[in-house]
Amino acid sequence: MGVGVLLRYGQYLPMTDATPRLTLGEGETPLVRSKFLERDLGIKELYFKLEGCNPTGSFKDRGIVVAVAKAKEAGHHTILCASTGNTSAAAAAYGAAAGMHCVVLVPKGNVAMGKMSQAIAYGARIVMIRGNFDRALEVARGLADEYPISLVNSVNQHRIEGQKTAAFEIVDALGDAPDHLYIPVGNAGNITAYWRGFTEYRALGKTEHAPRMMGWEAEGAAPIATGKRVDSPNTIASAIRIGNPASWQSAERARDESGGDIATVSDDEIVEAYRLLARREGIFCEPASAACVAGLMKNVRQGLDLRQSSVVCVLTGNGLKDPDIVYQVTNTPLEEATPDLEAVAKVLNLERAGSAKR
């Protein structure tokens, strides 16, 4: 337990004897059976892959650990990324663990508080870019071309390699691939990585089939679903607020080769799924993660029959990353009382057991 993806799946990764065996205990995340939605939607088997349980709270750790280890092996001292938040949190953590400098470019004013505080805590050099994520990534790519710095965005193929291990884990846990994989799509590296993982395992005979890849963009940031890039992407789900995905073509290949789909959900649908996951399943994930569950609910409402199907939803990040959103989307008043038993009981409208008889 807790050996990390480089040791656990090293034989499938671009490792050499010189690659440092870096780990913060990433991977081996829980695959939890649904308690409510499975029955409510009439699905044979529904599981949630809890990627928010990774060391920095998102799946980015799986790819970053490989990218940072390879950067270290190449003799670089500095890693660089553009980020909507989770990549920078992961890069900052693994950079610190590897004894490297980390520079992150974030879209000014558009990064969730939890993610920003991680990058600061881990000691990254943070530059706020007065522009959106897509612009920040263009700048980062240019810098990495001209200076001796390793770019650890998912354009770095080591990221995709590391992230494919989540697909391996799902097959290893279920004994086979699920029939459908539901996954949020932003820069589209993760859907690319899962498809690579499932097809590699299929080629090795570890699973007979590969799942249909069901990717979900937010309506206001849906370049792949609509077929054209979005200049000012907008959604409550900041981790998928991306208008020109770096892995656009490989995401389309994953969709087409798997017989899947990449479609959209509205922010209202995302929020509905986000609240339901917390309140009916006991799972607190990011809004971006909830997008794939919103997509599943939408597909079933529109008539997709999953009564004979196994489904895995990839819950990409931890809800604590973006605490402000909870207050934005729920209007539960916080109640107060003086510190005595009677006062609190009164606020709660409690009645003593048997009090009616007395």
Q: Which is nearer to ligand PLP, 184 or 211 (CB)?
A: 184
Q: Which is nearer to ligand PLP, 58 or 156 (CB)?
A: 58
Write the DSSP symbol of residue 214: E
Determine if 316 is a binding residue for ligand PLP (CB under 6 A). yes
- How distant, in Å, are the alpha carbons of 118, 126, 204, 310 from that of 237? 18, 22, 36, 26
Q: How far is the CB of 53 from ligand PLP (least distance, A)?
A: 12
Q: How far is the CB of 83 from ligand PLP (least distance, A)?
A: 8
**C-alpha–C-alpha distance, residues 269 and 286, integer Å:** 14
Question: Comparing C-alpha atoms, which of 315, 321, 225 is closest to residue 277?
Answer: 315
Rg value, the chain, Cα:
21
Q: Which residue is nearest to ligand PLP (CB)?
A: 317
**Token couple for 284:** 């607190």
Q: Which is nearer to ligand PLP, 60 or 164 (CB)?
A: 60
Pairing of strands 45-50, 31-33: antiparallel
Which 214-253 positions form the footprint of ligand PLP (CB under 6 A)? 239-240
Which 15-54 positions form the footprint of ligand PLP (CB under 6 A)? none
Q: Which is nearer to ligand PLP, 187 or 244 (CB)?
A: 187
Neighbours of 103 (CB within 10 A): 20
Q: How far is the CB of 208 from ligand PLP (least distance, A)?
A: 27
**C-alpha–C-alpha distance, residues 48 and 297, integer Å:** 14
Q: How far is the CB of 296 from ligand PLP (least distance, A)?
A: 15
Q: In the block, which residue shows the tokens 């986000």?
A: 274
Write the DSSP symbol of residue 103: E
Do the Cβ atoms of 295 and 241 come closer than 8 Å?
no
Q: How far is the CB of 173 from ligand PLP (least distance, A)?
A: 21
Write the DSSP symbol of residue 266: -
Q: Under rule CB under 6 A, how many of the chain's residues touch ligand PLP?
A: 18
Neighbours of 266 (CB within 10 A): 16
Q: Which is nearer to ligand PLP, 164 or 302 (CB)?
A: 164
Which 163-202 positions form the footprint of ligand PLP (CB under 6 A)? 184-190
Q: How far is the CB of 175 from ligand PLP (least distance, A)?
A: 26
Residue-level length of the chain: 358
**Token couple for 74:** 């190449």
Decide: helix, strand or coil at residue 230.
Answer: coil
Site string for ligand PLP, 267-296 (x = CB under 6 A): -------------------x-xx-------
Q: Which is nearer to ligand PLP, 185 or 205 (CB)?
A: 185
Which 60-119 positions form the footprint of ligand PLP (CB under 6 A)? 60, 86
Q: How far is the CB of 254 from ligand PLP (least distance, A)?
A: 11
Contacting positions for ligand PLP (CB under 6 A): 58, 60, 86, 154, 184-190, 239-240, 286, 288-289, 316-317
